[in-house]
Structures are given as structure tokens and as C-alpha cells.
Amino acid sequence: MPTRAADSPSVTPSAARAALGDLVRWMTDQGWRPHEFQQAVWEDHLAGGSGLVHVPTGAGKTYAAYFGPLAEMIAEARAATDAGTKVTGPRTLYLTPLRAVSRDVEKALTRPAKELGVKIRVETRTGDTSSYTRKKQRAELPQVLITTPESLSLLLTYPEARERFQGLHSVVLDEWHELLASKRGVQTELAIARLRAWLPNLRTRALSATLSNLDEAAQSAVGAGRRFTLTSARMDRPVHIETLIPDNPGRFPWAGHLGLKMLPDVLASLDAERSTLIFCNTRSQAERWFHAIEAAKPEWRGHMGLHHGSIDRDDRTRTENGLKDGSVRLVVATSSLDLGVDFAPVERVYQIGSPKGVARLMQRAGRASHRPGEPCHIVCVPTHALELVEIAAVRRAIAAGEIEPRRFDTKPLDVLAQHMVTCALGGGFDADAFYAEVRGAQAYADLTREDFDWTLRLVTEGGGTLAAYPEYRKVTHEGEGRHAAPEGKPAQLHRLNIGTITGDATMEIRFVGGKRLGSIEEHFVGKLRVGERFVFAGRVLRFHRAKDLTCFVRPATGRSNHTPIWSGTRLPISESLAEGVRSAMGSLSAGDEAEPEFAAAAPIIEAQSRLSHTPSEGELLVESCETREGSHLFVYPFEGRLVNLGIASLAALRLGRRRPATFTIAANDYGFELLCERGEDFAEWVDEELFTSEQLMEDISEAVNVGELSKRQFREVARVSGLVFQSYPGAHRSMRQLHASSSLLYDVLTDFDPDNLLLAQARREVLDRQFERSRLARTLARLASATVIRRAVKRPTPLGLPLVIERVGGQISSETLEDRIARATKQWEADLRKAPKRERTT
């Protein structure tokens, strides 16, 4: 196996090995003993291997991946010094999912060589990098480039890209498990496939946390059909889960609340002297908890921090650093702190609300004092009674080793379309060779030539099914399969909009004439009245005005319960956890008290059993009930909110076929509710036929179409494939005529190009993501063979009430729009007649 990088002939295996020896000595001098797994990775790298390293956080995986390439760089630098020459160009690419890479990575990668007296240029390049540094980097990349998938793709759009990456020999993929399951991961795969086509000996090392499908993860890191080495370290630390059990769980708030009822218990258990991390599931939950703790313990204010994705990067960094140097001892955070380099370990970790998944809770628990071998301890704070059951289920799943796999995006054509434009700009490509190159990325290993050609037509001709549009020219075919892209307005738009991260339109939030606080969703700002108070970044603010894309605020005093709700932050419970919950429910109804949470959950379960029934494994509970609102049908598959919603849509469609009706749908992690007009009891109609897998895809697609979900999903597809843009270059005026919402485009495509593969992709993504398609199919099979238990109840039961409270879902109707308007009007008139005393306000 060749051990030398393509462009560094001066590195001999023995020189690299000598440099590695120096690095090991350096490590020992720091008081660290090289782990066996680290040595295995270094050997594998020097032997020309690629692969994946799977170890818990804080075990030294960064140096495991980095020292192999670094040893070669040191050897090369020494040889250059001896020869009186200078090393130029990149050698190692360090990719991280963190959009704003903290200085720590750069420091960690700079230190060893520096202390060995060898000069290695280590630099970061992200969206935040100054234009001066970028320009310098464009001229010559540093030896070690730390960057994000987006910045890497951007580098690939420049015509000199190939030349500029000459000499690169190693790629490190940090936190690969985070990128994997997303389009960012796919984008990364494509970018590396590009580099690999230029540099056949390129070696890739991915770093990942616990997954159950490590082989797949490794394959996608090294490329389709290539050999890889899996390195694991047996350093797993036992996880201790403790639950703060409420005094009176029977009077627990049900749902839709953020669990602040548990605040006194949490305050009593907090220790101001010990560094503590409190994880919340959503940004608004974090805001509320931070605000509430601060109000209850004003003396802690100086030592508290709030950390979530919408808070200004500088403030977040300050919090992280404070945690490190001890000036901040209590941080309320969201998953924004799940990611991240080995930031300082804390002494105590709390989880507010549902753990959502087994791996997720393990990872969070792992934040508690990193000391190999020592158990990690996490305190769970349930926000409603059924979360007690979830916590117990996670404990059991960890004991049984049931950890979730990461699912992959396959063949997203929107990402491919974007990458095609990137490569066409970055030196162009030959269609046949490019097809082979793209299939080298694991995500596209089975991409058909047909789909490839369709995507190529999309970017060259505009994707018209029959006619090519002469006015369209993004990528041009220069004959004999050679494709390239001209510079100009489309190229400029492409560079500005590279990437796969789509968010809701956000506005910057800042003090009048001053400091930036972070970003906030536009629709929240749209609803604010001037002078209205709300909580953001842990402060009470008063809305002053909105101008362009900035929301100006002034500091306010007092308290406010108004917290922005950020969309897309509600994660369903995972498949492993859902299974655990079903099993735990069964144990509970059978009187099991083995877990500490069970005794606390018992009153709720008894109430459920008394009023209706508590389903055990193998049973499907169906409740029906009449209220003033209408006829409710409650079904509890216990399969996570998304799958429950999918089944609800399917059931509504199928029931509606048997008898026309309009259903309002609500779903949560446990079950779903279908609400229809009074007097229409559908409980008897819930049978195995309702859950048949026959016609599943057709039916769900129809239900999905009616629900307009794919239209929403199309936003992302349209954005990634370059049909709509998030960012328009400065001159707003000339761009105004290009404004079109993705939903409008969706309609246009549906009308005039119904076979467009991007529409098909949006539908597939809805099924995969919104409903977790494969999980949905498995669930239907389970439900079709379940024993259906029907109960007519007087009012919503403990299981059903959260659904009534949280009714937020969509609507599935087999009636025409005209009928629905007429019906809604009639309902209004009836309501007005019934309540003649109520004043009508206009």
C-alpha cells in the first residue's frame, strides 16, 4: 500500500514513523498515555487505510484521527527545512458539523506540532471567516484546513479547485454521526467523492459516537465499495439515570406545559457550587427554565448561562468558555450543546422532559465528568406523568443494549443538482466520468443513469419534460459530454446559497443602537405588538420595531411568560424508546414496580385502567367519546408522534372513503385523535383492514397530498436544488421579480411538470421523514395483528386528554373545499344562535 501522499515525495515511511514517535512522547509528557485504539488508528493510517473510529466523547478520538496525518506533515516539514524549501498547499482537511467552529479545535490541532517546534499552518474557514483570510486561503490553503461541509463545497465552486487541493492526503470527519443522517452528510460524501476523483490515495477517517449501524456509517465515510477499518474502544461507561419524582404525580400537568411545576424540586436539588448542565428539548423550554431559575435565584445570575441555536454565537462562546474556566456554573441548553468538541465536563447533568431517545440520553449523560470507567450520572425531570414511563424505558433499553441506528438519506436529487452546479463551476466535468464519481459516494451507490441524466437536464436545460428552454443556462453542455458553468448572476446566486440547511425565515434581534442578541423567527416577530414584552436569550425584552430583517428591542423589567416558539424543534420519541414504552406500559398494567418511576406513574395508570383500559404489548386501544366539540376517536399505537400522525392521516383517508367526513387530526408520541362531527362514531370501523399494508404508498401519498405536507417539504427541496433562494445578493430591486414562494413553485410544477423528480423526492421525503416510512410500515404490520380493544368513554382519559389539549395537526377531508366552507359557515351561524348573549366583536 502506498503510504505517501500524492504530492509530498519527501515523506518516507520511516520519517513519518519517527514523527509519530515524537508525538507519542509529547503525549506522555502531558501525562496522557496513548490508548490502544489510538495506536491502532495511527498504524492503519500510516499503512494507507481509511475507516471509522467509534469511541465515547472525551476519550481522545481527535488525536486518534489526527496524529497519523500529523506525523506525515511533521516529517514533510522537517524534510523541507533540511532541503531549505517550504511546504505549500493543504495536507489535511478537518470537517466538522459545527457551523461556527470554536477556537478549541484549532488550538487542539495546532498545539502538538507547535510544541515539537514544527511549523504547521492550521486554519479555520467557515461562513464567519473574514474576507481577508478567505482571500489569503483562496490563494493558498493552509496545511490543515478546519471547515464545514458548506465551506468545502464553496471551495469546490472555484475553477482552480483541483489545483488548490493538490497535495491533500487526509480527511478527518468529526462528529460523523451528526452529519450522517442528513443532507449535509450527503453533501459531504459528494464533496469527498470529488476530492477522491482528483486524489485517488486520499484517506478518510470518521469519528462517531455510539450507533447501532457502524458499518453503514463507515462505508459512507470512505466511499462506496471501498475497504474500511472499524476501530472501537471498549471504554463504555455505565449510565446512571436518576429521576426527580414529583410529590404528587397524580396532579401532574398533562401536556403542552413546559413542566415548570417541577421547578421547586429542581431548585432544591441544584448545588450552586457544582458545575451543572440542564438540557431542554426545545429552545423555548430552555428560555423558560432559564428565566424561571433566574427569577427564583437572583443571586445565581452572575454564574448562569443560556445556550441554544438562536443565541448569538459570541454569547454562546462566552458561556462555553465560562463553563470551562469555572465562572459559569449553571447552563441551560438545548441540543446545541450535544454537539461540540470535548468542552469542559460538568459535574451534574439534568434532562428536562422526555429523553426522546436512548442514544440521545446516553450522550447527554456522557457530559457528566468525563473520566473513563466512571459512571455517568443524569437526573431526569419529567414534565408529565407518562414521561416517568419513558425514563424507565430508557433505563431498561440501555441495560439491554438497544440503541437506535442512524437512518440515511438516499439519493436526494436536490443535493445532487446543487453539487452538479458546484462542480460545473469548479472546473467542469465529463458526464460519464462524473456519473461514476457520484456513484462513488455511498448515498448514490445505486443511482440510476436515468435519474442522473434527469438531474443533469434539470441544471442544463431547466428540466422541462419535452422542450429545452433556450433562455435557461445554469450549466452548459459544451459537447461530447463536457459540462461547465459560466460565471454570472446564476453562479453568484449559487455560491451565496450553497448548503442544505434550511430554516424558517429569521430576523436578527438586537438592542436599539446596540448589541446583537441572536436570531428569531420572522413569524414570531410578525405577531408582536410595539411595546410587548417577551423573553429571549434569558432576558426580558420589549419590542421596539422591525425594520428590514432586524427586530429592534429594548431591555425591559419584570417578568414575561411570552416565549418565542421556534418551529421544527419537536422530536418524536425514537423507535427503540417507543418499543420500550409499550413494554413498560404492559409491565405497569400488570403491577410491575421494579423501576423507581413506576410507583409514581401507578396512579395515572390506575386511572387509565379504571376509566378505560391500559394496553399491554400486542393490544391496540381505541377509545371513542362525544363532547361538545364533536365525535372523538382516540387510537394509541405508541410509536412516536410522526408515525402516529402518518397512521392518523392514513386512517382518516380510509375511513373517509367508507363514509365521507372531515377529520381534524392530532397526534403525540403515544397516539392520535380523529375529531369529526357529532354523532359520527367511527370506533367500530377501526379494524385490521384499516391498517392493511395494501395500497399503503398510494394511500399515504394521497393522504399526504391532501394534507399539503409535501408542499411544505418541497421548501427544502426547492431551496437545495436552487429553485428558490434564501439569500439574494444586495441589489434587492433586480431580484424582486424572482421572488416566488416554494409553495407557488410546487403548484406550478404540479400543474405543468407533474413528473418532475423533485416533486417525487419531496413526497418521498415526507414519507421518510415526516412519517418515517419504513417505521410506518413496520408499525402497520404490528397494528394489523394487534388485538383491538374498544372502549366508549364519557370524557377523554388520561391518555387522551393531552391529544385534546394539543390539537395542532392538519386536516384530512374527503369533502370539497366548497363544502367545507359551507359547513364551517353553518357551524358559525349555529354557534351564534346558541349563544345570543355573547357580544360579537369585530
Partner 1 sequence: MSDEEMAVDVAGERIELMPERGAHWREGGAMLVSDLHLGKSGVFRAAGIAVPDGDAHEQLDRLAQGLARTRAERLIIIGDLLHAPAGLTPSLVEAVAAWRKRHTQDWLVVPGNHDRRLEDLTDAWRLDIKPEIYTEGPFRFRHEPAIGPGTPTDGFVWSGHTHPAVRLRLATGSVRLPAFVIGPHRAILPAFSRFTGGVVHVPEPGDRLFAVTPNAVIEAPVELRA
Binding site for partner 1 (CB under 8 A): 458-459, 462-465, 467, 469-474, 489-490, 493-494, 662, 664, 721-724, 737-741, 744-745, 747-749, 751-753, 756, 807-811, 816-818, 820-822, 824-825, 828, 832, 842
Q: Which is nearer to partner 1, 549 or 832 (CB)?
A: 832
Q: Which is nearer to partner 1, 599 or 832 (CB)?
A: 832
Pairing state between β 533-536 and 539-547 = antiparallel
CB of 566 to partner 1, least distance (A): 21
Q: Which is nearer to partner 1, 589 or 664 (CB)?
A: 664
Q: Which is nearer to partner 1, 247 or 450 (CB)?
A: 450
Q: Which is nearer to partner 1, 208 or 761 (CB)?
A: 761
User: Would you call 426 helix, strand, or coil by DSSP?
Assistant: coil
**531 backbone φψ class: left, alpha, beta (φ>0; ψ -120 to 50):** left
Q: Is the separation of the CB atoms in 245 and 51 below 8 Å?
A: no
CB of 752 to partner 1, least distance (A): 3
Q: Which is nearer to partner 1, 241 or 493 (CB)?
A: 493
Q: How far apart are the first and last CA of the chain?
A: 80
Residue 183: enclosing H or E segment and its boundaries?
Answer: helix 183-198
CB of 634 to partner 1, least distance (A): 17
Q: Which is nearer to partner 1, 608 or 742 (CB)?
A: 742
CB of 662 to partner 1, least distance (A): 7
CB of 522 to partner 1, least distance (A): 15
The 3 state secondary structure assigned to 647-704 is HHHHHHHHHHHHCCCEEEEEECCCCEEEEECCCCCCHHHCCHHHHCCCCHHHHHHHHH
CB of 737 to partner 1, least distance (A): 5
As a whole number of Å, the CA-based R_g of the chain is 28
Q: Which is nearer to partner 1, 230 or 740 (CB)?
A: 740
Burial 547-583 (b: 16+ CB within 10 A, else e): eeeebbbeebeeebebbbebeebebbbbbbbbbbbbb
**86 backbone φψ class: left, alpha, beta (φ>0; ψ -120 to 50):** beta
Neighbours of 702 (CB within 10 A): 17
How many Cα atoms within 13 Å fall on the side-chain side of residue 234? Answer: 0
Q: Is the separation of the CB atoms in 518 and 550 below 8 Å?
A: no
Q: Which is nearer to partner 1, 617 or 753 (CB)?
A: 753
User: Would you call 268 helix, strand, or coil by DSSP?
Assistant: helix
CB of 485 to partner 1, least distance (A): 9
Q: How far apart are CA 194 and CA 423, in angstroms?
A: 8
Q: Which is nearer to partner 1, 338 or 753 (CB)?
A: 753
Sheet harboring 506-511: ordered strands across?
516-521, 506-511, 550-555, 539-547, 533-536
CB of 471 to partner 1, least distance (A): 5
Q: Is the separation of the CB atoms in 171 and 152 below 8 Å?
A: no
Q: Which is nearer to partner 1, 440 or 490 (CB)?
A: 490
Q: Which is nearer to partner 1, 32 or 469 (CB)?
A: 469
CB of 217 to partner 1, least distance (A): 33
CB of 490 to partner 1, least distance (A): 3
Q: Which is nearer to partner 1, 88 or 811 (CB)?
A: 811
DSSP string covering 476-536: EE-STTEEE---SHHHHHHHHT-SS-----EEEEEETTS-EEEEEEHHHHHTPPTT-EEEE
Please name the residue that has the C-alpha cell 486518534.
64
CB of 811 to partner 1, least distance (A): 4
What separation in angstroms does the CA of 616 have from each of 387, 582, 605, 635?
17, 7, 12, 14
Amino acid at 837: K
Please name the residue that has the C-alpha cell 487526509.
170
The 3 state secondary structure assigned to 761-828 is HHHHHHHHHHCCHHHHHHHHHHHHCCEEEEEECCCCCCCCHHHHHCCCCCEEECCCHHHHHHHHHHHH
CB of 429 to partner 1, least distance (A): 18
Separation of CA 402 from chain center: 21
The residues facing 789 across adjacent strands are 621
Q: Which is nearer to partner 1, 30 or 741 (CB)?
A: 741
Q: How far apart are CA 246 and CA 381, in angstroms?
A: 9
CB of 654 to partner 1, least distance (A): 19
CB of 717 to partner 1, least distance (A): 12
